[in-house]
Amino acid sequence: QVQLVQSGAEVKKPGASVKVSCKASGYTFSNFGITWVRQAPGQGLEWMGWFSAYNGNTDYAQKIQGRVTMTTDISTSTAYMELTSLRSDDTAVYYCARCRGTRCNNFDYWGQGTLVTVST
């Protein structure tokens, strides 16, 4: 069965960086893209971007462009999301999800989420 297992919770200071991992199993990793979505406490879902397995391209939300890098390691079926220059409003649960379709048409399997807390 398809599973996405994310790394554990992180506490970071403002200005630091965080790198969240998302290990996939149960499917051919290189055939699907991975998207990242975050959710601030008590708030809705915010799409961050996605990594295309088809051409290796990335597409990031303008709001975090320049601070985010999404990568994958096909040898370990693991996706990574690194966010730099952290601010307090980056405190959120970060989810990875599998993209279905060449355009990431929908997100059919999700990781369990990783809480990132940015605090002094």
Partner 1 sequence: DIQMTQSPSSLSASVGDRVTITCRASQSISSYLNWYQQKPGEAPNLLIYAVSTLQSGVPSRFSGSGSGTDFTLTISSLQPEDFATYYCQQSYSSPFSFGQGTKLEI
Cβ at position 21, least distance to partner 1 in Å: 16
Choose between 37 and 86: whose C-beta lies nearer to partner 1.
Answer: 37
The DSSP element (H or E) to which 118 belongs, if any, is strand 114-118
Cβ at position 41, least distance to partner 1 in Å: 12
| Beta bridge partners of residue 71, listed in sequence order | 80
Choose between 35 and 72: whose C-beta lies nearer to partner 1.
Answer: 35
Cβ at position 35, least distance to partner 1 in Å: 8
Do the Cβ atoms of 84 and 15 come closer than 8 Å? Answer: no
Interface ranges with partner 1 (CB under 8 A): 35, 37, 44-47, 49-50, 59, 61-62, 95, 97, 100, 103-108, 110-113
Q: Closest Cα to residue 96, out of 17, 25, 43, 28?
A: 25
The first and second tokens of residue 95, run together, are 């989810």
Return phi, psi of residue 15, to 5°.
95, -15
Choose between 13 and 44: whose C-beta lies nearer to partner 1.
Answer: 44
